[in-house]
Structure 1
Amino acid sequence: MEKNYIALGLMSGTSMDGVDASTIISDGDKGPTNSLENQYFEYDKDLYQKLTNLRDKITNSKDLKNYSNELNLIEKEITLFHAKIVNQMIKLQPKFELDIIGFHGQTIFHNADEKISVQLGNGKLLSQLTKKKVVYNFRQNDLENGGQGAPLTPIFHQNLIRNIDLNSWPIIVLNIGGISNATSVSMFYPNGDIIDNDITKSRKDHNLFAEDIGPGNCLIDEWIRKNSKYRFDKDGLIAKSGKVNELIFNQAVDNFLDLDNFTNKSLDVKDFDISFVRGLSLEDGAATLTHLTAKLIGEGLIKFMSKNNNPSLNVLNKTTCLVCGGGRKNKYLMDKLKDNLNIRELMLIDRQGLNGDFIESQAFAYLAIRSYLDLPISYPNTTGCKKQTTGGVIVKNY
């Protein structure tokens, strides 16, 4: 029997609003992953403002050097914030001894072509402050091996799907964060026929594909942040009250659907901008960007599934899509996404007894265990790396 580990995953996404923290118990491989505790810790207004302002300043890798002093100061502040979280999470689970921490940090710049992915967070300092083993810098090894450095969560998505009871194949896990990424777990014969479900249930070697497919919340969040007092469009109510500017929408679709720029490429929020809706009202801009986001996610999913399955089959109408991430809470976005997809079922992952807010933080706890065990966390069909690749720097600084 494989040994189980207690791991804490700390994840801060592109919304830069706070940190998701999850404690799990897992063997880091094929056994079930059980969630012990999930909590969200919001950045205060000052830290949020510092982070968003700094990200806006850093438009290329040279800016990392130009703003190095500012980056070092805020990295220390973020690390101290995470250390407090770790201590609080430990107190919430006094019966369990924490083995390892998966520390993703706050992404400030990502450019796979330059093999640079910068997540603010000092793993050595966090280990010193918490007296725990810490895994950090998860993306660099994949980049060095020819990968895109993202998405890294697919191996965890496969673990979740392997251990829940779904009778339809293929299955997509769609994560709508700042960027949208998709993981396809399918069971196909080479000719494209779906393997019988009874065989499917007994097998563990699923076909795993993953890719960033388009924007998630980034366009909508940036518009709301820059044009109102809010950080995001709760439930999509602002967009729902507006009117789509059809001319701008159609032009944007034509521009963005030149997705050759995005094929097999990890995406960053800086790959998208909102200048084309400048001049619209808050509501109309939100409506136009929400419809555009739904259109791009839908088209991205169609291309993704066509590329990774027999293109002669209409795979999507056989597919169950489980949606996680903050974007699933935007009801208006979800409604528009359904309008753009001929899919068997689009459901929130929460319906499977999983908390869709904490899939990524649980994933980085899981990836920390795999890194500790020297197991791969990325694969040629998930990040484009040349060979399956381990990841994460392990530090014990106490």
Structure 2
Amino acid sequence: MKKKLYTAIGLMSGTSMDGIDLSIISSDGYDEFSNILDDYYEYDKNLQDQLVRLRDLVLTKKDLLHNSEKLRELERNLTLFHADAVNQSLKKYRDPIDLIGFHGQTIFHNPSEKITNQLGDGKLLSQMVKKKVIYDFRQADIKNNGQGAPLTPIFHYILSKKINQNFNVKFPVGFLNIGGIANVTKVINDSDNFQNNLFAFDIGPGNCLIDEWVRKNSNKKIDKNGELATVGKVDQLILNQAIDNFKINSYSQSLDIKNFDVSFARGLSLEDGCATITDFTAYLIAEGLKYIGQKNSITFLLCGGGRKNFNLISRINNYISNENSINLKFIDNYNLNGDYIESQAFAFLAIRSFLNLPISFSTTTGCKEFTVGGKLAENFQ
């Protein structure tokens, strides 16, 4: 019997804090998926500055409490910005929308203390756009002894099946998402036995260190296309010290951008710092790819904003050049837009949550048992 198709909007605001990725998809929450619309809404400078400033202030649980009033005000402003983005997109797509998957903006993430904080008022958003909203996706997983991340692997599984069928990319299929943090998913085959088929890890910084360095040392926000790093020269001594001083001994823990800092590059020029930090990031990502790809030949599909940093991708390829079993390909080569995989994923997760289907598993987040995440807000008449 054919399952019902739902139309959902996914809203994703990543650790770069530059704006909202918005996607509209159609899916049954199981195997069927088609993309309808993708859009991007850039934060105004005032909102972005507030987000970055508050995120930098909140380093502990106490900081959350100390800044609670500021966070509430910022959450309201952020939610209103999301509502405006949704309403603008609804003018472009006039068919009914069943659900909205609202990720929110991560301010603090500490699974060991069972805390994850994503700014975003699901009830207010529901009231403003007159739609059912699924939000707070990570808390249930953390309460179930999971890391609360990464949550996109179940969506990667659906994509892997489509890519295998349409382009004959053989299993296992990997996904390397380079956002603020870099994470990987490995799909062994097309079986829906997720506990033995779906594996995922955070493997290191993605864009976060490069972005932080550029923001602190120039009036730019990012190293566009890796142009600054390409001009700069890697300080090999500083790079080796950074690699020696930072070891990821286990990939069982989720990562936050606050696990890393750029102090090791202090004193370098803008360009040399970019080059050195980019190489450090590439090294850690490559080590993660080697770990997850060690048993089989595997193609990793690149998605996320970091795939556009050609210097970073080149350096990752340098570090895996002796690994004949690992190949990197851009997901854009397979009729998918690598900028919007996560926003599409949260639309898909909203549908699964609404259907009471699990979105995380012991092999993806480390939760005790599969977990149905997300809360439903239906705050309209």
Q: TM-score, normalised by structure 2?
A: 0.95
Alignment of 1:39-50 (within 5 A): 39-50=39-50
Question: Offset of 1:30 from its aligned partner?
Answer: 1.6
Give the alignment partner of residue 264 of structure 1, picking from 220, 229, 252: 252
TM-align CA RMSD:
1.1
Q: Distance in 1 between matches of 2:73 and 2:156?
A: 35
Equivalent residue letter for 1:8 = I
Equivalent residue letter for 1:301 = L
Q: Distance in 2 between matches of 1:91 and 1:26?
A: 21
Q: Answer yes or no: is the 8 Å Cα contact 1:151–1:210 preserved in 2.
A: yes
Write the deviation string for residues 293-352 of structure 1: whole angstroms up to 9, x where unpaired: 00000001212334xxxxxx4x2xx21110000000001101111111124421110000
Q: Distance in 2 between matches of 1:367 and 1:344?
A: 29
Q: Answer yes or no: is the 8 Å Cα contact 1:321–1:345 preserved in 2.
A: yes
Secondary structure (helix, strand or coil) at the match of 1:164 reads helix
- Other-structure match for 1:159: 158
Secondary structure (helix, strand or coil) at the match of 2:210 reads helix
- Other-structure match for 1:195: none
Are the structure 2 counterparts of residues 204 and 376 from structure 1 closer, same or farther at C-alpha, using a change threshold of 3 Å? closer
Equivalent residue letter for 2:163 = I
- Other-structure match for 1:283: 271
Question: Offset of 1:263 from its aligned partner?
Answer: 2.5
Q: Distance in 1 between matches of 2:114 and 2:179?
A: 22
Residues 1:59 and 2:59 aligned together: yes
Residues 1:17 and 2:7 aligned together: no
Alignment of 1:222-301 (within 5 A): 222-256=212-246, 258-260=247-249, 262-301=250-289
Q: Answer yes or no: is the 8 Å Cα contact 1:162–1:204 preserved in 2.
A: no
Residues 1:138 and 2:137 aligned together: yes
Question: Offset of 1:61 from its aligned partner?
Answer: 1.1
Q: Answer yes or no: is the 8 Å Cα contact 1:100–1:369 preserved in 2.
A: yes
- Other-structure match for 1:173: 175
Secondary structure (helix, strand or coil) at the match of 1:383 reads coil
Alignment of 1:199-238 (within 5 A): 204-205=192-193, 207-238=197-228
Q: Distance in 1 between matches of 2:364 and 2:233?
A: 37
Q: Distance in 1 between matches of 2:281 and 2:326?
A: 21
Q: Answer yes or no: is the 8 Å Cα contact 2:163–2:169 preserved in 1.
A: no
Q: Distance in 2 between matches of 1:366 and 1:279?
A: 45
Q: Distance in 2 between matches of 1:204 and 1:146?
A: 23
Q: Distance in 1 between matches of 2:233 and 2:169?
A: 40
- Other-structure match for 2:30: 29
Question: Offset of 1:211 from its aligned partner?
Answer: 0.8
Shifted more, 344-353 versus 111-120: the winner is 344-353
Runs of 4+ in 1 over 3 A off after TM superposition: 203-206
**How many residues were matched structurally?**
371
Equivalent residue letter for 1:278 = R
- Other-structure match for 2:188: 186
Q: Distance in 2 between matches of 1:320 and 1:305?
A: 9
Give the alignment partner of residue 311 of structure 2, picking from 332, 350, 357: 332
Secondary structure (helix, strand or coil) at the match of 2:11 reads strand
Q: Distance in 2 between matches of 1:53 and 1:331?
A: 29
Q: Distance in 2 between matches of 1:146 and 1:162?
A: 29
- Other-structure match for 1:104: 103
Question: Offset of 1:169 from its aligned partner?
Answer: 2.5
Percent identical residues: 55
Q: Answer yes or no: is the 8 Å Cα contact 1:176–1:323 preserved in 2.
A: yes
Write the deviation string for residues 245-266 of structure 1: whole angstroms up to 9, x where unpaired: 111100111122x212x52001
Q: Distance in 2 between matches of 1:119 and 1:36?
A: 26
- Other-structure match for 2:298: 319
- Other-structure match for 1:346: 328
Question: Offset of 1:168 from its aligned partner?
Answer: 2.2
Secondary structure (helix, strand or coil) at the match of 2:293 reads helix
Q: Answer yes or no: is the 8 Å Cα contact 1:213–1:304 preserved in 2.
A: no
Equivalent residue letter for 1:64 = L
Structure 1 runs not aligned, ≥5 long: 188-199, 307-312
Equivalent residue letter for 1:327 = G
Q: Answer yes or no: is the 8 Å Cα contact 1:24–1:37 preserved in 2.
A: yes
Q: Distance in 2 between matches of 1:157 and 1:237?
A: 30
